[in-house]
Amino acid sequence: MSAAAKREDDNVVTKLEAPAQPAAAPVASAPEPRPAPAAPKKKRRIGRMLLMIALPAALAIGGAYVWVTGGRYQETENANLQQARISVASDTAGRIVQVGIDDNQTVKQGDLLFVIDPEPYRIALAEADAAVAAARLNVEQLRAAYSQAMAQEKSASSEVDFAQSQYDRAADLAQKGINAKSSLDQARNDLDKAKQQLAVAQQGIVSAKAALGGNPDIETDKHPTVMSALAARDKAAYNLGQTTVKAPADGIIYQAASFKVGQYVSVGTPLFALVETGDTWIDANFKETQLTNMKPGQKAEIVVDTYPGRTFEATVKAIGAGTGAEFSLLPAQNATGNWVKVTQRIPVRLELTDPDAKMALRTGMSATVTVDTGVARGWPSIFSHATAGEHTQ
Protein backbone atom coordinates (compact mmCIF):
# COMPACT_ATOMS: atom_id res chain seq x y z
CA MET A 1 0.00 0.00 0.00
CA SER A 2 1.25 3.48 -0.94
CA ALA A 3 1.90 6.18 1.63
CA ALA A 4 -0.84 8.38 0.22
CA ALA A 5 -3.43 5.65 0.52
CA LYS A 6 -2.38 4.97 4.13
CA ARG A 7 -2.80 8.61 5.05
CA GLU A 8 -6.27 8.61 3.53
CA ASP A 9 -7.25 5.56 5.60
CA ASP A 10 -5.96 7.23 8.79
CA ASN A 11 -7.96 10.35 8.02
CA VAL A 12 -11.11 8.25 7.59
CA VAL A 13 -10.58 6.52 10.93
CA THR A 14 -9.95 9.85 12.65
CA LYS A 15 -13.18 11.24 11.24
CA LEU A 16 -15.15 8.22 12.41
CA GLU A 17 -13.76 8.37 15.98
CA ALA A 18 -14.18 12.13 16.40
CA PRO A 19 -17.59 13.13 17.84
CA ALA A 20 -19.84 15.18 15.78
CA GLN A 21 -19.81 18.83 16.75
CA PRO A 22 -23.23 20.33 17.35
CA ALA A 23 -24.34 23.13 15.22
CA ALA A 24 -23.82 26.52 16.72
CA ALA A 25 -27.01 27.82 18.31
CA PRO A 26 -28.00 31.37 17.80
CA VAL A 27 -26.74 33.52 20.69
CA ALA A 28 -29.56 34.76 22.90
CA SER A 29 -29.72 36.34 26.31
CA ALA A 30 -30.61 33.49 28.85
CA PRO A 31 -32.45 34.41 32.09
CA GLU A 32 -30.39 34.21 35.29
CA PRO A 33 -31.23 31.17 37.66
CA ARG A 34 -33.34 32.04 40.67
CA PRO A 35 -31.98 31.05 44.10
CA ALA A 36 -33.91 28.23 45.96
CA PRO A 37 -36.19 29.42 48.69
CA ALA A 38 -34.64 29.00 52.17
CA ALA A 39 -37.89 28.26 54.05
CA PRO A 40 -38.24 24.53 53.07
CA LYS A 41 -34.66 23.80 54.24
CA LYS A 42 -35.37 25.27 57.63
CA LYS A 43 -38.53 23.15 58.02
CA ARG A 44 -36.62 20.02 57.04
CA ARG A 45 -33.96 20.74 59.63
CA ILE A 46 -36.56 21.34 62.37
CA GLY A 47 -38.27 18.01 61.51
CA ARG A 48 -34.97 16.18 61.71
CA MET A 49 -34.20 17.86 65.03
CA LEU A 50 -37.59 16.91 66.44
CA LEU A 51 -37.11 13.34 65.24
CA MET A 52 -33.68 13.15 66.82
CA ILE A 53 -35.14 14.39 70.11
CA ALA A 54 -38.38 12.38 70.01
CA LEU A 55 -36.78 9.00 69.31
CA PRO A 56 -34.44 8.98 72.35
CA ALA A 57 -37.23 10.45 74.47
CA ALA A 58 -39.61 7.68 73.39
CA LEU A 59 -36.96 5.07 74.11
CA ALA A 60 -36.29 6.61 77.52
CA ILE A 61 -40.00 6.74 78.36
CA GLY A 62 -40.52 3.18 77.16
CA GLY A 63 -37.52 1.96 79.16
CA ALA A 64 -38.75 3.78 82.26
CA TYR A 65 -42.20 2.23 81.85
CA VAL A 66 -40.72 -1.23 81.47
CA TRP A 67 -38.56 -0.65 84.55
CA VAL A 68 -41.44 0.70 86.64
CA THR A 69 -43.90 -2.03 85.69
CA GLY A 70 -41.26 -4.80 85.72
CA GLY A 71 -39.75 -6.76 88.59
CA ARG A 72 -42.97 -8.51 89.58
CA TYR A 73 -42.21 -11.72 87.70
CA GLN A 74 -38.84 -13.28 88.45
CA GLU A 75 -37.66 -15.86 85.95
CA THR A 76 -34.79 -18.30 85.73
CA GLU A 77 -33.82 -21.10 83.37
CA ASN A 78 -31.44 -22.63 85.91
CA ALA A 79 -33.98 -25.11 87.25
CA ASN A 80 -34.39 -28.87 87.31
CA LEU A 81 -37.26 -31.16 88.17
CA GLN A 82 -36.60 -33.60 91.00
CA GLN A 83 -38.36 -36.75 92.20
CA ALA A 84 -37.67 -38.88 95.26
CA ARG A 85 -35.57 -41.95 94.56
CA ILE A 86 -35.94 -44.96 96.84
CA SER A 87 -33.18 -47.54 96.90
CA VAL A 88 -34.96 -50.89 97.22
CA ALA A 89 -33.14 -53.45 99.37
CA SER A 90 -34.08 -56.61 101.21
CA ASP A 91 -34.44 -56.85 104.99
CA THR A 92 -33.76 -60.59 104.85
CA ALA A 93 -31.15 -62.67 103.09
CA GLY A 94 -32.06 -65.41 100.68
CA ARG A 95 -32.54 -66.52 97.11
CA ILE A 96 -35.06 -64.84 94.81
CA VAL A 97 -37.86 -67.22 93.80
CA GLN A 98 -40.24 -64.74 92.12
CA VAL A 99 -39.86 -61.36 90.39
CA GLY A 100 -42.91 -59.25 89.59
CA ILE A 101 -41.37 -56.21 87.88
CA ASP A 102 -39.36 -55.17 84.82
CA ASP A 103 -37.00 -52.29 84.24
CA ASN A 104 -38.78 -48.92 83.68
CA GLN A 105 -42.11 -50.45 84.68
CA THR A 106 -44.73 -48.26 86.36
CA VAL A 107 -45.95 -49.68 89.67
CA LYS A 108 -48.54 -48.74 92.25
CA GLN A 109 -48.15 -48.78 95.99
CA GLY A 110 -48.53 -52.34 97.25
CA ASP A 111 -47.63 -54.06 93.97
CA LEU A 112 -45.43 -57.16 94.26
CA LEU A 113 -41.74 -56.50 93.53
CA PHE A 114 -40.08 -59.82 94.37
CA VAL A 115 -40.25 -62.82 96.74
CA ILE A 116 -37.38 -64.40 98.67
CA ASP A 117 -37.46 -68.14 99.43
CA PRO A 118 -39.67 -68.25 102.55
CA GLU A 119 -39.06 -71.88 103.62
CA PRO A 120 -36.09 -71.21 105.99
CA TYR A 121 -38.09 -68.48 107.69
CA ARG A 122 -41.15 -70.74 108.08
CA ILE A 123 -38.92 -73.26 109.88
CA ALA A 124 -37.53 -70.49 112.11
CA LEU A 125 -41.08 -69.41 112.95
CA ALA A 126 -42.03 -72.98 113.91
CA GLU A 127 -38.99 -73.15 116.23
CA ALA A 128 -40.02 -69.84 117.78
CA ASP A 129 -43.54 -71.16 118.40
CA ALA A 130 -42.08 -74.20 120.13
CA ALA A 131 -39.88 -71.95 122.28
CA VAL A 132 -42.94 -69.99 123.35
CA ALA A 133 -44.74 -73.16 124.35
CA ALA A 134 -41.71 -74.33 126.35
CA ALA A 135 -41.46 -70.97 128.13
CA ARG A 136 -45.11 -71.10 129.12
CA LEU A 137 -44.66 -74.66 130.43
CA ASN A 138 -41.64 -73.54 132.43
CA VAL A 139 -43.70 -70.80 134.08
CA GLU A 140 -46.32 -73.34 135.10
CA GLN A 141 -43.56 -75.47 136.61
CA LEU A 142 -42.24 -72.46 138.52
CA ARG A 143 -45.71 -71.78 139.82
CA ALA A 144 -45.97 -75.42 140.99
CA ALA A 145 -42.55 -75.14 142.65
CA TYR A 146 -43.75 -72.07 144.52
CA SER A 147 -46.80 -73.97 145.78
CA GLN A 148 -44.55 -76.82 146.88
CA ALA A 149 -42.28 -74.40 148.72
CA MET A 150 -45.28 -72.94 150.49
CA ALA A 151 -46.37 -76.44 151.59
CA GLN A 152 -42.86 -77.29 152.83
CA GLU A 153 -42.75 -74.05 154.78
CA LYS A 154 -46.08 -74.90 156.41
CA SER A 155 -44.88 -78.40 157.32
CA ALA A 156 -41.61 -77.05 158.70
CA SER A 157 -43.51 -74.52 160.77
CA SER A 158 -45.63 -77.34 162.26
CA GLU A 159 -42.48 -79.28 163.07
CA VAL A 160 -41.07 -76.26 164.84
CA ASP A 161 -44.22 -75.93 166.94
CA PHE A 162 -44.11 -79.63 167.86
CA ALA A 163 -40.42 -79.54 168.70
CA GLN A 164 -40.94 -76.43 170.78
CA SER A 165 -43.70 -78.12 172.83
CA GLN A 166 -41.50 -81.21 173.34
CA TYR A 167 -38.63 -79.06 174.49
CA ASP A 168 -40.85 -77.12 176.88
CA ARG A 169 -42.18 -80.39 178.42
CA ALA A 170 -38.70 -81.86 178.73
CA ALA A 171 -37.42 -78.71 180.35
CA ASP A 172 -40.27 -78.71 182.84
CA LEU A 173 -39.70 -82.34 183.76
CA ALA A 174 -35.95 -81.81 184.02
CA GLN A 175 -36.51 -78.86 186.34
CA LYS A 176 -38.66 -81.08 188.61
CA GLY A 177 -36.01 -83.79 188.50
CA ILE A 178 -38.29 -86.28 186.86
CA ASN A 179 -36.62 -86.35 183.44
CA ALA A 180 -32.97 -86.91 182.68
CA LYS A 181 -30.74 -84.21 181.29
CA SER A 182 -30.14 -86.24 178.15
CA SER A 183 -33.82 -86.07 177.25
CA LEU A 184 -33.69 -82.30 177.55
CA ASP A 185 -30.68 -82.16 175.24
CA GLN A 186 -32.44 -84.36 172.69
CA ALA A 187 -35.52 -82.13 172.75
CA ARG A 188 -33.32 -79.07 172.29
CA ASN A 189 -31.59 -80.69 169.30
CA ASP A 190 -34.91 -81.61 167.67
CA LEU A 191 -36.09 -78.01 168.09
CA ASP A 192 -32.95 -76.64 166.42
CA LYS A 193 -33.36 -79.04 163.47
CA ALA A 194 -37.00 -78.02 163.02
CA LYS A 195 -36.06 -74.35 163.01
CA GLN A 196 -33.35 -74.95 160.40
CA GLN A 197 -35.79 -76.85 158.20
CA LEU A 198 -38.23 -73.96 158.53
CA ALA A 199 -35.54 -71.50 157.44
CA VAL A 200 -34.74 -73.68 154.42
CA ALA A 201 -38.43 -73.86 153.49
CA GLN A 202 -38.78 -70.09 153.80
CA GLN A 203 -35.74 -69.59 151.57
CA GLY A 204 -37.31 -71.94 149.04
CA ILE A 205 -40.41 -69.74 148.99
CA VAL A 206 -38.26 -66.67 148.30
CA SER A 207 -36.44 -68.45 145.47
CA ALA A 208 -39.65 -69.72 143.89
CA LYS A 209 -41.22 -66.27 144.16
CA ALA A 210 -38.19 -64.68 142.51
CA ALA A 211 -38.42 -67.21 139.67
CA LEU A 212 -41.96 -65.98 139.09
CA GLY A 213 -40.79 -62.39 138.73
CA GLY A 214 -41.59 -61.47 142.31
CA ASN A 215 -45.31 -61.99 141.74
CA PRO A 216 -46.73 -65.49 142.32
CA ASP A 217 -49.98 -64.44 140.62
CA ILE A 218 -48.28 -63.16 137.44
CA GLU A 219 -49.89 -63.99 134.11
CA THR A 220 -48.05 -66.62 132.13
CA ASP A 221 -47.50 -64.40 129.07
CA LYS A 222 -46.26 -61.57 131.32
CA HIS A 223 -43.38 -63.65 132.63
CA PRO A 224 -39.98 -62.43 131.32
CA THR A 225 -39.01 -65.78 129.78
CA VAL A 226 -42.32 -66.02 127.97
CA MET A 227 -42.10 -62.40 126.82
CA SER A 228 -38.60 -63.09 125.43
CA ALA A 229 -39.88 -66.15 123.60
CA LEU A 230 -42.81 -64.17 122.22
CA ALA A 231 -40.44 -61.43 121.01
CA ALA A 232 -38.32 -64.05 119.23
CA ARG A 233 -41.47 -65.47 117.72
CA ASP A 234 -42.57 -62.02 116.50
CA LYS A 235 -39.14 -61.48 114.95
CA ALA A 236 -39.35 -64.79 113.13
CA ALA A 237 -42.83 -63.90 111.87
CA TYR A 238 -41.55 -60.47 110.77
CA ASN A 239 -38.66 -62.04 108.87
CA LEU A 240 -41.08 -64.39 107.16
CA GLY A 241 -43.28 -61.46 106.16
CA GLN A 242 -40.25 -59.59 104.76
CA THR A 243 -39.64 -62.34 102.23
CA THR A 244 -42.40 -60.75 100.14
CA VAL A 245 -41.36 -57.23 99.10
CA LYS A 246 -43.97 -54.78 97.80
CA ALA A 247 -43.76 -51.29 96.32
CA PRO A 248 -43.71 -48.65 99.09
CA ALA A 249 -45.16 -45.95 96.80
CA ASP A 250 -46.26 -45.18 93.25
CA GLY A 251 -43.35 -44.86 90.90
CA ILE A 252 -41.19 -46.24 88.12
CA ILE A 253 -38.71 -49.10 88.48
CA TYR A 254 -35.20 -48.14 87.42
CA GLN A 255 -31.95 -50.13 87.02
CA ALA A 256 -33.63 -53.51 87.43
CA ALA A 257 -32.57 -55.04 84.12
CA SER A 258 -30.18 -57.55 85.77
CA PHE A 259 -32.52 -58.45 88.65
CA LYS A 260 -33.58 -62.05 87.97
CA VAL A 261 -34.96 -65.16 89.67
CA GLY A 262 -32.26 -67.24 91.40
CA GLN A 263 -30.18 -64.27 92.48
CA TYR A 264 -29.02 -64.39 96.10
CA VAL A 265 -29.50 -61.14 97.99
CA SER A 266 -27.98 -59.98 101.26
CA VAL A 267 -29.51 -57.82 103.95
CA GLY A 268 -29.35 -54.12 103.10
CA THR A 269 -27.76 -54.51 99.66
CA PRO A 270 -29.35 -52.09 97.13
CA LEU A 271 -31.02 -54.05 94.33
CA PHE A 272 -32.68 -51.38 92.15
CA ALA A 273 -34.28 -47.95 92.43
CA LEU A 274 -37.87 -46.77 92.60
CA VAL A 275 -38.42 -43.21 91.31
CA GLU A 276 -41.41 -41.96 93.26
CA THR A 277 -43.67 -40.10 90.83
CA GLY A 278 -46.01 -38.92 93.57
CA ASP A 279 -43.33 -36.73 95.17
CA THR A 280 -42.21 -34.18 92.57
CA TRP A 281 -40.63 -30.78 93.12
CA ILE A 282 -38.49 -28.21 91.28
CA ASP A 283 -35.17 -26.82 92.47
CA ALA A 284 -34.71 -23.40 90.84
CA ASN A 285 -31.51 -21.41 91.33
CA PHE A 286 -32.38 -17.70 91.40
CA LYS A 287 -29.91 -14.86 91.56
CA GLU A 288 -29.70 -13.25 94.96
CA THR A 289 -30.95 -9.98 93.45
CA GLN A 290 -34.18 -11.74 92.43
CA LEU A 291 -35.15 -12.80 95.94
CA THR A 292 -35.99 -9.35 97.32
CA ASN A 293 -39.76 -9.90 97.30
CA MET A 294 -39.89 -13.69 96.94
CA LYS A 295 -41.65 -15.56 99.75
CA PRO A 296 -43.00 -19.07 100.36
CA GLY A 297 -46.56 -19.53 99.16
CA GLN A 298 -46.26 -17.37 96.03
CA LYS A 299 -47.61 -18.73 92.76
CA ALA A 300 -45.30 -19.80 89.95
CA GLU A 301 -45.43 -21.19 86.43
CA ILE A 302 -43.23 -24.01 85.21
CA VAL A 303 -42.35 -24.66 81.57
CA VAL A 304 -40.46 -27.90 81.00
CA ASP A 305 -38.22 -28.19 77.96
CA THR A 306 -39.85 -31.51 77.08
CA TYR A 307 -43.28 -29.84 76.79
CA PRO A 308 -42.52 -26.31 75.55
CA GLY A 309 -46.16 -25.40 74.91
CA ARG A 310 -47.48 -26.57 78.27
CA THR A 311 -47.46 -24.63 81.54
CA PHE A 312 -47.57 -26.27 84.97
CA GLU A 313 -48.70 -24.47 88.08
CA ALA A 314 -46.53 -24.51 91.19
CA THR A 315 -46.05 -22.82 94.55
CA VAL A 316 -42.91 -21.59 96.26
CA LYS A 317 -42.36 -24.01 99.14
CA ALA A 318 -39.06 -22.88 100.64
CA ILE A 319 -36.01 -20.71 100.00
CA GLY A 320 -32.60 -22.27 100.53
CA ALA A 321 -30.54 -21.61 103.63
CA GLY A 322 -27.58 -20.32 101.63
CA THR A 323 -25.87 -20.15 98.28
CA GLY A 324 -24.53 -23.18 96.54
CA ALA A 325 -20.95 -22.03 97.13
CA GLU A 326 -21.47 -22.05 100.90
CA PHE A 327 -22.37 -25.74 100.93
CA SER A 328 -19.79 -26.90 98.41
CA LEU A 329 -17.03 -29.31 99.39
CA LEU A 330 -14.41 -26.54 99.21
CA PRO A 331 -16.16 -23.19 99.85
CA ALA A 332 -14.47 -20.09 98.49
CA GLN A 333 -12.31 -18.11 100.91
CA ASN A 334 -12.31 -14.39 100.12
CA ALA A 335 -10.12 -13.21 102.99
CA THR A 336 -7.01 -12.81 100.80
CA GLY A 337 -8.20 -9.60 99.17
CA ASN A 338 -8.33 -11.07 95.66
CA TRP A 339 -12.08 -10.80 95.54
CA VAL A 340 -14.39 -10.05 92.62
CA LYS A 341 -18.06 -9.57 93.39
CA VAL A 342 -20.14 -12.18 91.57
CA THR A 343 -23.88 -12.49 91.84
CA GLN A 344 -24.59 -15.67 93.77
CA ARG A 345 -27.49 -18.04 93.25
CA ILE A 346 -29.73 -19.42 96.00
CA PRO A 347 -31.85 -22.55 95.49
CA VAL A 348 -35.63 -22.16 95.76
CA ARG A 349 -37.85 -25.22 96.07
CA LEU A 350 -41.22 -25.18 94.33
CA GLU A 351 -44.01 -27.72 94.70
CA LEU A 352 -46.22 -28.72 91.79
CA THR A 353 -49.91 -28.19 92.49
CA ASP A 354 -51.20 -30.04 89.43
CA PRO A 355 -51.49 -33.75 90.36
CA ASP A 356 -51.95 -34.87 86.76
CA ALA A 357 -48.68 -33.26 85.71
CA LYS A 358 -46.55 -35.38 88.02
CA MET A 359 -47.03 -38.53 85.96
CA ALA A 360 -45.91 -36.78 82.77
CA LEU A 361 -42.67 -35.47 84.27
CA ARG A 362 -39.38 -37.23 84.90
CA THR A 363 -36.63 -36.47 87.34
CA GLY A 364 -33.75 -34.34 86.04
CA MET A 365 -35.76 -32.48 83.37
CA SER A 366 -34.71 -28.89 82.66
CA ALA A 367 -37.33 -26.24 83.32
CA THR A 368 -37.96 -22.51 83.20
CA VAL A 369 -39.52 -21.06 86.35
CA THR A 370 -41.43 -17.78 86.61
CA VAL A 371 -42.48 -16.65 90.09
CA ASP A 372 -45.15 -13.99 90.63
CA THR A 373 -43.86 -11.94 93.57
CA GLY A 374 -46.81 -9.53 93.33
CA VAL A 375 -44.51 -6.51 93.75
CA ALA A 376 -43.37 -4.29 90.86
CA ARG A 377 -40.52 -1.78 91.10
CA GLY A 378 -42.60 1.42 90.86
CA TRP A 379 -41.48 5.05 90.74
CA PRO A 380 -40.08 5.12 94.29
CA SER A 381 -37.61 2.47 93.23
CA ILE A 382 -36.24 4.78 90.53
CA PHE A 383 -36.01 7.69 92.94
CA SER A 384 -34.29 5.54 95.56
CA HIS A 385 -31.73 4.37 92.98
CA ALA A 386 -31.10 7.95 91.90
CA THR A 387 -30.70 9.10 95.50
CA ALA A 388 -28.36 6.22 96.19
CA GLY A 389 -26.29 7.25 93.18
CA GLU A 390 -26.04 10.86 94.44
CA HIS A 391 -24.95 9.70 97.89
CA THR A 392 -22.35 7.45 96.29
CA GLN A 393 -20.94 10.35 94.32
For 181-224, how does the pLDDT look when each residue is reduced to its tens digit (9 = 90+)? 777 778 888 888 888 988 888 888 888 888 888 888 888 889 99
* Distance, CA of 202 to CA of 153 (rounded, Å): 6
Query: What are the C-alpha distances in Å from 163 to residues 159, 171, 201, 291?
Result: 6, 12, 16, 99
DSSP-derived 3-state class of residue 25 = coil
Domain borders along the chain are 68-83+278-329+343-376, 86-114+239-270, 120-227
pTM of the model: 0.63
Burial track 113-131 (b if 16+ CB lie within 10 A, e otherwise): bbbbebebbeebbeebbeb
* Distance, CA of 124 to CA of 242 (rounded, Å): 13
Q: pLDDT 10s per residue in the chain (393 long)? A: 444 444 445 444 444 444 444 444 444 454 555 554 555 556 667 777 777 787 787 787 777 666 565 568 899 999 999 998 999 999 999 999 999 999 999 999 999 999 999 999 999 999 999 999 999 999 999 888 888 888 888 888 888 888 888 888 878 777 777 766 777 778 888 888 888 988 888 888 888 888 888 888 888 889 999 999 999 999 999 999 999 999 999 999 999 989 999 999 999 999 999 999 888 899 999 999 899 889 999 999 999 988 888 889 999 999 998 887 777 776 666 656 666 677 889 999 999 887 767 667 888 999 999 999 888 766 554 444 444 444 444
Element holding 75 (H helix, E strand):
strand 73-89
Query: What are the C-alpha distances in Å from 26 to residues 21, 104, 295, 381?
Result: 15, 104, 95, 81
Q: Could you tell me which of 157, 269, 250 has the C-alpha nearest to residue 202?
A: 157
Are the CB atoms for 161 and 134 separated by under 8 Å?
A: no
Residue 293, φ and ψ in degrees, nearest 5: -115, 15
Are the CB atoms for 259 and 271 separated by under 8 Å?
A: yes
Give all strands of the β-sheet with 94-99 in edge-to-edge order: 244-246, 112-116, 94-99, 264-265
Same CATH fold assignment for domains 68-83+278-329+343-376 and 86-114+239-270: no
* Distance, CA of 17 to CA of 39 (rounded, Å): 49
Q: Could you tell me which of 216, 214, 220, 169 has the C-alpha nearest to residue 190?
A: 169
CATH 2.40.50.100 fits 86-114+239-270, yes or no: yes
Are the CB atoms for 68 and 377 separated by under 8 Å?
A: yes
Architecture label for domain 68-83+278-329+343-376: Beta Barrel (2.40)
